[in-house]
Amino acid sequence: QKEVEQNSGPLSVPEGAIASLNCTYSDRGSQSFFWYRQYSGKSPELIMSIYSNGDKEDGRFTAQLNKASQYVSLLIRDSQPSDSATYLCAVNRDSSYKLIFGSGTRLLVRP
């Protein structure tokens, strides 16, 4: 079992729809959770960070964390073609500096 699991996709949604990206992790000691977006040929860039159970909203993005279920998700409202990218979930291990990345979910937003 991988430490951080994501569905590789592609997840295809029409423009304007809600895209839901999911991630599960195995280390119960993890304290910090991140969503990065990576366009093809580019470096990962931070979308959201979340540290407490519940929802955190930033513009069209909402991160959801459930530590009991070891589950973190990212919702993208009003999806745009420019949101088409690979979304990487990252979790820190043992409250250390070490981030473990999932393999990423490729999102395609159809015009």
Partner 1 sequence: DARVTQTPRDKVTEMGQEVTMRCQPILGHNTVFWYRQTMMQGLELLAYFRNRAPLDDSGMPKDRFSAEMPDATLATLKIQPSEPRDSAVYFCASGPGQTTDTQYFGPGTRLTVL
Is residue 83 classed as helix, strand or coil in its secondary structure?
helix
Minimum gap (Å) between residue 14 Cβ and partner 1: 28
Q: What does the block give as tokens for 53?
A: 């159970």
Write down the least CB distance from residue 16 to partner 1, Å: 29
Minimum CB–partner distance for residue 39 and partner 1 (Å): 12
Q: Is 44 in the site for partner 1 (CB under 8 A)?
A: yes
Smaller CB separation from partner 1, 62 or 104:
104
Dump strand ranges (E) for the chain.
Answer: 4-5, 11-14, 19-25, 33-38, 45-50, 54-58, 61-66, 71-76, 85-92, 99-101, 105-110
Question: Given the complex with partner 1, which of 16 and 51 has the nearer CB atom?
Answer: 51
* Structure token digits, residue 97: 């500096």
Task: List contacts with partner 1 (CB under 8 A).
Answer: 31-32, 34, 36, 42-46, 49, 51, 88, 92, 95-104
